[in-house]
């Protein structure tokens, strides 16, 4: 391999590493900012407002094992599970907490399941907390 070819190869590899580095930095900054905003919203939650946190929890293979290593985790079959946590401040100023677990027997972890879970959660919010303002957070930012 010639010297110029090696330089180009190293340059390409460096550019890839640099891109990944800046994406990671942006993710860390975004996560920190969202976490701070989440805490601010919770501290200043007014009557008629609620915070909803939705997060993909895991896939469950019921009865298979309680602990698993990373190799066993990826590509796993089982039941998909989303969780929705709602913290509301009622008209009387009292906080109300609700937890919803949304199960799906389809093994796909795709946007369709996430959108369906959001739809179920929002319908429940409309039913139980009519007229409330909603702050929506993903569990990844907390």
Rounded to an integer, the average pLDDT of 77-100 is 84
Rounded to an integer, the average pLDDT of 102-124 is 79
Say if CB 78 and CB 15 are below 8 A apart: no
pTM (2 decimals)?
0.65
């Amino acid at each position: 391999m010639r010297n110029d070819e090696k330089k180009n190869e190293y340059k390409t590899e460096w550019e890839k590493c640099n891109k990944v580095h800046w994406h990671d930095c942006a993710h860390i900054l975004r996560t920190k900012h969202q976490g701070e905003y989440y805490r601010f919203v919770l501290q200043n939650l007014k009557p008629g407002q609620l915070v909803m946190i939705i997060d993909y929890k895991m896939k469950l293979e019921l009865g298979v094992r309680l602990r698993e290593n990373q190799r066993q985790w990826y590509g796993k079959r089982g039941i998909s599970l989303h969780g929705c946590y709602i913290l509301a401040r009622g008209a009387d100023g009292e906080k109300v907490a609700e937890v919803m677990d949304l199960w799906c027997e389809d093994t796909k972890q795709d946007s369709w399941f996430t959108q369906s879970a959001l739809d179920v959660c929002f319908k429940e919010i409309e039913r139980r907390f009519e007229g409330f303002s909603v702050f929506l957070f993903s569990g990844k930012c907390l």
